[in-house]
Structure 1
Amino acid sequence: MDLTRRRLLGGTGAGAAALGLHAAGLTSGTAWADPRFPDDPFRLGVASGDPHPDGVVLWTRLAPDPLALDGRGGMPGRRVTVQWQIAHDERFQRVVRQGTAYAVPELAHSVHVEVTGLEPGRDYFYRFRAGGVLSPAGRTRTAPHARTRTDLAFAFASCQCWYEGFYTAYRHMAAEDLDFVVHLGDYLYEYGVGATAGVRGMSLDASFQRETYTLSEYRNRHALTRMDTDLQAAHLAFPWVLTWDDHEVENNWAGDIAQLDSDGFPDGDATAFRARKAAAFQAYYEHLPLRLPQKPDGSDVRMYRRLGFGRTLDLHVLDTRSYRDDQVCGDGTKPGCDTERSDPARTMLGAEQERWLLDGAARSGATWNVLANQTLVAQVDQNADPAVVSSGLDMWDGYTAARDRLLTGLHERGAANPVVVTGDIHRSVVADLKLDFADASSPVVATEFAGTSISSGRDGAAMDKVGRDWLAPGVNPHLKWHNAQRGYTVLRLTADDLRADYRVVPYVTTPGAPVETAGRFVVERDRPGAQPA
């Protein structure tokens, strides 16, 4: 850790290729010429994200008092100059880029530096300095050159309810050999944390005991999450690619429609809900390594995007919340509703995103097309009785015509080796995705690897009642495997196959759990469907 407090080297870099993005168009008063912080301003850590072949985005937020009730992190209403460096080595003796950026109060003194001019497919180290204080040093990695075919490894994770479990899985993830991490949503939860902060055993201000609505409340919930040292370790180790699901705003939101029983919002009050989304989206951007195109404009933001990793992988990052139709039949899990959920006018992605996805996958020259998706695509009958079909209406099962368009579109357009990675369900599932789930002879067109939660749902088990119901004979024959423990999934991609290792911990309600591999699967190139490895 002495590395994180070495003096910042000056005047030795090869120049800067970054934008002071947060200063543009913002009026933040005078600069704080000689900052003196009451505590470490880098208590929320540092991070990098969205790697390109020539660069990455670097992130930090100055917050010497991260949980200050006004949501300002203990910072004054003045802009602060932040220096940054990126180097070939962790001792910063070979600095290749450096520069300055502004941390402004309008964005909670967060900094997003989009560095360019780097070499493709190699490791770099980065750090920040503000007011004479040096940040921790992070490691990042650029994407391979567009014409390169190289082996890749990444982990995906989701659902990290802070008060329901410790983030031990992230400490283990940080020790893996990975190129990047994909987070599929539920980075935080909007609910109150409880009198003792759940398993964390802490006493927090009353503002943490209620659901989040305001910008300061969302900021502080993010800050509470980001203070976890295991989470910080995983951010330090790799660049992250992130998208959201529902709890970054509110449970099961759909477009401009709040959950039916949402506290404080009359049903159908889209204006009030858009204001809540705007606060949630801004706090999300302020706390994560996102590029300028993902900066929200009020309640509008384009979160879906595509990242290329040479000729091995095209990663299609989806947003299945912002454009979807409302859940049918009052939401939840229930039988019936076949007519409503199969309505061809209903959408999960919205017309523009759906077209963008199918067109991009069809044009892809990569071996693997991976969809970073939130809710389960595979059909899942929730009832073990074959005579009763029970559907989860927030999942793609509630949008069956949209699912048909997705899977048929990938198949008919000849998208190469589509694989879906999914979060949300707090359990791990491996599934064959078929054109017709009711027809045993229908072709398998893609593979879905759904991953469990980091901590949501507290301690899990290898099998539970839900798993037994899903795997009951004749109920869901396209499901290959199930596990309900906590953890993350590692995918390793080559020109010949894609391998998935499900990494799980036996408990999260106390810290220090070991990690093990609960299941291994392989998808061979041009042969959709997973097999045990």
Structure 2
Amino acid sequence: MPHTRRSLLGGSLALPLGLALSAAFAAPALASPAGAPAFTRSGRPVARWGTQSGEVTAHSATVWTRSDRPARMYVETSPSESFRYGVRRHGGPFLGPATDFTGTTTLRDLPPGRQIHYRITLADPDDPRRTSEPVRGTFRTTPVSRRHDVRFVWSGDLAGQGWGINPDIGGYRVFEEMRLRDPDFFLFSGDAIYADGPIQAAVPLPDGRIWRNVTTEEKSKVAETLDEFRGNFRYNLLDQHLREFYGQVPVLAQWDDHEVRNNWYPGQLIDDPRYTVREADVLAARARRAFGEYFPVTDLRGGRDEGRMYRVMRHGPLLDVFVLDMRTYRNRNSPNRQAEDPVGILGPEQLAWLKRELSRSRATWKVIASDMPLGIVVPDGATDFEAVAQGDPGAPLGRELQIAELLRHVKHRHITGTVWLTADVHYTAANHYAPERAAFGDFEPFWEFVSGPVGAGGFPAGRLDATFGPRTAYVRSAPVANMSPAENPPYYGEVEIDGDSGELTVRLRRQGGGVLFTKVLRPGLVGQA
């Protein structure tokens, strides 16, 4: 790539934002990490939760921050890390209690395929001379030329099963390792928080050691109120490695079940003594609003009904990423063996959208970001199932019917370059699907790559359902359920597309352990085993 990026997060001072923002910056004390921020009229605003970027295109991007008090958000951009030339100023919104003091600004008219440096300053709305120390970030705009390489990383499941920010092991160190890979973006494949997973200060490990967690009030119980959901997002941002990662790597965030609660589905009534709110739909609406407030996803801010989780991100001529939502539109979890299932796991509207957008895509590679795996059996209790597969190796039934319809569409429309990426099951694997091994054979072969967790309990590998003919080329998993990240270090995946050849390389990685598995796929071909 023509541009490289260095770690530039820190507290260096911004150039003036006009006369109103020309006062010298002070270094205020840190606000409490829990709850809505307490503030006074003295001092200056603080953006202690860092910054994020997302929705990056060739000419625009959205940047995010949070203030510790009411403030006005201002952004400066420059092609120079030192901000010595080409500085542009962008006005931003008022950050107040309605959005938990978070806000986004969309930066426009940016040059394509370039490194953009930005810094955010917060100003007291009553006295614009009182301004924050700036928080800095950077991103690369999407290229318009095929000659640009593309690299991104993906994983999911953070702070799950009670394993939170452990200062004894340096917190979420995997994010520092991923940051040093210098990816163009991070695909966060669901379970970005565990709203149903309280964090305790100390957890005994099997060998007698004690796992210590940073704790907050909101993480002491299951999330039910909007403020408790917000507090779950704030919890992860207490980690310095995650904040620095977000400041350098744009995030493409997906959601799954634990943003609300384990294995939820629309219309579910919760039978769990930890909850006073029994309607999963009520919890989901609050979780959705907090998700939109804490990620740079502009059409979800405020929880507006017209916003949706599924979307496509176009990353130049080489790559389109189709981010699915297998949670919001699904039917109830069941034995999943019905002969007809128009709702399925995607819902009819999302399925139609996906088929339409795949047909329209002219990208060399179409990555389908699925928050759940296709052929791995994921149970929900003794008789019900969570994902697509249900263990019946015969013809498609239940939610498998929608996947069969989609795979048939891909084949008959001659859509090439589809690759499935997922997380969810808390181990890493490479699964190849082929019609000659399948009960349903009207599709072209494809790969599904699994990676995670990025910071949760590790679990043994699940069994495969033969309906679509999966075969495991590689798997690495924990030997027992819920191994801590200290015993089972985090997994993440990396995708790299060569701008000259168009070849796509997938690497399954482990924190501190290097590359576990590599697969190179050539463009335009099918049946690459």
TM-score by length of 1: 0.78
- Alignment check: 8 A CA contact 1:307 1:316 kept: yes
Deviation at 1:441, TM superposition (A): 7.5
**Given residue 307 of structure 1, which amino acid in structure 2 is its aligned partner?**
M
Distance 2:378 2:432 in 1: 14
Confirm or deny that 1:173 pairs with 2:178: yes
- Alignment check: 8 A CA contact 2:509 2:516 kept: yes
Deviation at 1:392, TM superposition (A): 7.8
Deviation at 1:10, TM superposition (A): 2.8
Matched residues, number: 460
- Identify the residue that residue 156 of structure 2 maps to in structure 1: 158
User: Pick from 478, 481, 494: which aligns with 2:471?
Assistant: 478
- Alignment check: 8 A CA contact 2:508 2:518 kept: yes
1:529–1:177 Cα change, 3 Å:
farther
- Identify the residue that residue 82 of structure 1 maps to in structure 2: 73
Confirm or deny that 1:212 pairs with 2:223: yes
Q: Give 5+ residue unaligned stretches, structure 2.
A: 1-6, 19-38, 123-129, 165-170, 204-209, 391-398, 478-487
- Identify the residue that residue 393 of structure 1 maps to in structure 2: 385
Deviation at 1:288, TM superposition (A): 1.3
> Percent of counterpart pairs with the same letter?
23
Distance 1:396 1:250 in 2: 19
User: Pick from 236, 241, 244: which aligns with 2:252?
Assistant: 241
Q: 1:35-434, aligned counterparts within 5 Å?
A: 36-37=43-44, 41-63=46-68, 75=69, 79-101=70-92, 102-130=94-122, 131-145=130-144, 148=146, 150-161=148-159, 163-164=162-163, 166-196=171-201, 198=203, 201-202=212-213, 204=215, 207-258=218-269, 261=272, 263-264=274-275, 272-291=279-298, 293-297=299-303, 301-329=307-335, 339-340=337-338, 342-378=339-375, 380=377, 393-398=385-390, 399-434=399-434
- Identify the residue that residue 492 of structure 1 maps to in structure 2: 496
- Alignment check: 8 A CA contact 2:440 2:467 kept: no
Deviation at 1:111, TM superposition (A): 1.5
Distance 1:83 1:431 in 2: 46
Distance 2:433 2:273 in 1: 34
- Alignment check: 8 A CA contact 2:198 2:220 kept: yes
Encode CA deviations 1:76-112: one digit per residue, 9 max, x unaligned. xxx4212211111221112442123221210011110
Distance 2:301 2:525 in 1: 39
Distance 1:428 1:81 in 2: 43
Distance 1:474 1:355 in 2: 22
Deviation at 1:121, TM superposition (A): 1.1
Distance 1:422 1:318 in 2: 10
**Given residue 140 of structure 1, which amino acid in structure 2 is its aligned partner?**
F
- Identify the residue that residue 438 of structure 1 maps to in structure 2: 438
Distance 2:527 2:156 in 1: 23
Deviation at 1:148, TM superposition (A): 4.2
1:443–1:81 Cα change, 3 Å:
closer
- Alignment check: 8 A CA contact 1:422 1:450 kept: yes
Distance 1:355 1:205 in 2: 42
Partner of 2:508, secondary structure, is strand
- Identify the residue that residue 454 of structure 1 maps to in structure 2: 454
- Identify the residue that residue 125 of structure 2 maps to in structure 1: none
Distance 1:53 1:100 in 2: 20
Partner of 2:515, secondary structure, is strand
Deviation at 1:436, TM superposition (A): 7.2
Deviation at 1:149, TM superposition (A): 5.1
Q: Which has the higher mean CA deviation after the structures are superposed, 200-209 or 277-286?
A: 200-209
Distance 1:381 1:229 in 2: 33
1:432–1:475 Cα change, 3 Å:
closer
Q: 1:13-28, aligned counterparts within 5 Å?
A: none
**Given residue 518 of structure 1, which amino acid in structure 2 is its aligned partner?**
L
Distance 1:480 1:228 in 2: 35
Encode CA deviations 1:411-454: one digit per residue, 9 max, x unaligned. 22222211111111111121123457535987543211111210
1:206–1:236 Cα change, 3 Å:
closer
1:439–1:422 Cα change, 3 Å:
same
Q: Which has the higher mean CA deviation after the structures are superposed, 476-485 or 107-116?
A: 476-485
CA RMSD of aligned residues (A): 3.2
Partner of 2:229, secondary structure, is helix
Distance 1:392 1:134 in 2: 52
Q: 1:497-512, aligned counterparts within 5 Å?
A: 497-505=503-511
- Alignment check: 8 A CA contact 1:488 1:502 kept: yes
- Alignment check: 8 A CA contact 1:190 1:248 kept: yes
Distance 1:442 1:297 in 2: 40
Distance 2:476 2:306 in 1: 36
1:114–1:393 Cα change, 3 Å:
same
- Alignment check: 8 A CA contact 1:193 1:210 kept: yes
Distance 1:200 1:190 in 2: 20
Encode CA deviations 1:504-524: one digit per residue, 9 max, x unaligned. 02xxxxxxxx24111111222
- Alignment check: 8 A CA contact 1:375 1:395 kept: yes
Distance 2:342 2:276 in 1: 27
Partner of 1:397, secondary structure, is coil
Partner of 1:396, secondary structure, is coil
**Given residue 137 of structure 1, which amino acid in structure 2 is its aligned partner?**
R
- Identify the residue that residue 33 of structure 2 maps to in structure 1: none
Deviation at 1:287, TM superposition (A): 1.3
Deviation at 1:299, TM superposition (A): 6.6
1:368–1:202 Cα change, 3 Å:
closer
Encode CA deviations 1:171-190: one digit per residue, 9 max, x unaligned. 10010031111111111101
